[in-house]
Amino acid sequence: MSNRSRRRQQKRVTPLSNRISPNTGRIKFFSDEQLYSIHDATLQILETIGLSDAPEEAIRLIRDNGGKVTDSGRLTFPPKLVNEAILKLRKNFILHARGNDQNLDLSGYKVHTGTGGAAPMIADMSTHTFRQSLLGDLYDASRLVDKLDNIHFFARPMVANDMSTSIMLDINTAYASLVGTSKHVISSISAVSNVKTVHQLCSIIAGSDKNFFDKPFMSLNVNHVVPPLRFDTESCEVLIEASRFGFPVMVNTFGQMGASSPVTIAGCLVQTNAETLAGMVLAWLANKDVNAIYGARPMVTDLRTGGMAGGSGEQSLLTAAAVQLAQYYNFPNSTISGATDSKLPDNQAGYEKAINLTLAVQTGANLITQAAGTQAGLMATSLEAYVIDNEMLGAILSTGKQIEVNEETCSVESIKKVVEGDGHFLGQSATFNRMSTDFVYPEVADRQPYDSWVANGKPSINSNAKTKVEAILQEHKPNYIPKDCDTQIRKLFDIKIRI
């Protein structure tokens, strides 16, 4: 075992948490035989078709391990290498947070829900119109999410359109996220030359390179492929470099079923699996200790228009199928769920998100991105939706709880006592004791009697959410970067956020 592996195992602990801990993985769509068929077809694609546009370092890594470049320039992967990587890639690790009890345990069917995306727009709560998202909006989103218990991690949800260069974008995106929340942060890096710089920022906050290596509190989304079966050269280089620097990496693929991948779910999964495994293999060859998260996230196409249909029932099925495929390999995994096509938080957004997220939770996806705040088919972010979706997530996560069946919970003695006594259970000690542990109570959804609702001005879930957003942003102004670190960071980098 390498020293790096030994250090990581020593640091590995199961986090304590008082949040809802679903007991999921109940839903399965494939038999083992069917999963093997998808795996076998995947190996055929990687060996005989391969991927185009591989950067030179990717070619070198694969060639040194038995791969080839075809006459047409496509990089192919031998089945032996792919199977070895699947066997030896790390399983069951933790994504660290800087806050107490906020670590993300990616073992088994443990589920964590968060934000995500690269939306170019934000929804204005007052006018219900879209405008370009700015760095200040990203900071507002991070500190809002910091106060929402059922949003467990903060993945960069929108693009800071006011940043003029890639380095300004990458460094300020990381800073705005890390200063506003102590939860685990997932960001992205747009150029390979920026990986070292963002790593330097994280190491300053952590106190040293070693501290960040031992407990990396930021990971990276990397979209290394442009379907079908073509590397995004720059992103592929970022994947390799980030893996070497010790960042946990989300190895993401985004084929659209019927457009950039086959129209059948099985065919879409085979291609998506090949694209995702190609990235997992490269990350592993770059750093055998890498924490790589399998991020197959195929999306459904509305074949009438060619646009995405992220809120459809077919999408919920496709997402759950991709998660089960990741579980076949025992990979920590991430997926998108909650990508409503509705433009604003409304009835359509509610049912589309609820259908997709319920199935993703029950299947046992480890990291569910875009689970809150995302609207308009991933094109816009809504702060109001963060608050509404946080409440929805509490309800959905509670459906994954284990049902206790024992002498106490069967309640024979309690039933006898009530029948012979008051005739109701409201005064029972068990009822009072479980009131705060067994139930999730809404804050912005309305449960008032009709007369009280009218007397209080007929509030809606949207008006209540708007009020809560405004209160949090007015009162919650955290700075999770120590002052001495912040001074050092501002001397080295052009930080635009002013706290």
**How does pLDDT run across 160-183, given as a tens digit for each residue?**
999 999 999 999 999 999 999 999
- 106-150 pLDDT per residue, tens: 999 999 999 999 999 999 998 999 999 999 999 999 999 999 999
Cα 239 from chain centre:
17
CB 217 within 8 A of CB 199: no
Band (400; pLDDT cuts 50, 70, 90): confident
Band (309; pLDDT cuts 50, 70, 90): confident
| pLDDT at residue 308, as a whole number | 84
Rounded to the nearest 10 degrees, the angle between the axes of helix 265-286 and helix 233-244 is 50
Instruction: Indicate if the pLDDT at residue 196 is higher than 80.
Output: yes
Mean pLDDT across 391-412: 93
CB 388 within 8 A of CB 461: yes
- 7-36 pLDDT per residue, tens: 444 433 333 345 676 778 888 999 999 999
| pLDDT at residue 15, as a whole number | 37
Average pLDDT, the chain: 94
| pLDDT at residue 307, as a whole number | 84
CB 256 within 8 A of CB 300: yes
Band (5; pLDDT cuts 50, 70, 90): very low
Better-scored residue on pLDDT, 16 or 480 = 480
| pLDDT at residue 306, as a whole number | 87
Mean pLDDT across 369-382: 97
Mean pLDDT across 286-295: 98
| pLDDT at residue 220, as a whole number | 98
- 421-433 pLDDT per residue, tens: 999 999 999 999 9
- 320-335 pLDDT per residue, tens: 999 999 999 999 999 9
CB atoms within 10 A of CB 294: 29
- 68-96 pLDDT per residue, tens: 999 999 999 999 999 999 999 999 999 99
| pLDDT at residue 8, as a whole number | 42
| pLDDT at residue 499, as a whole number | 83
| pLDDT at residue 100, as a whole number | 84
| pLDDT at residue 317, as a whole number | 95
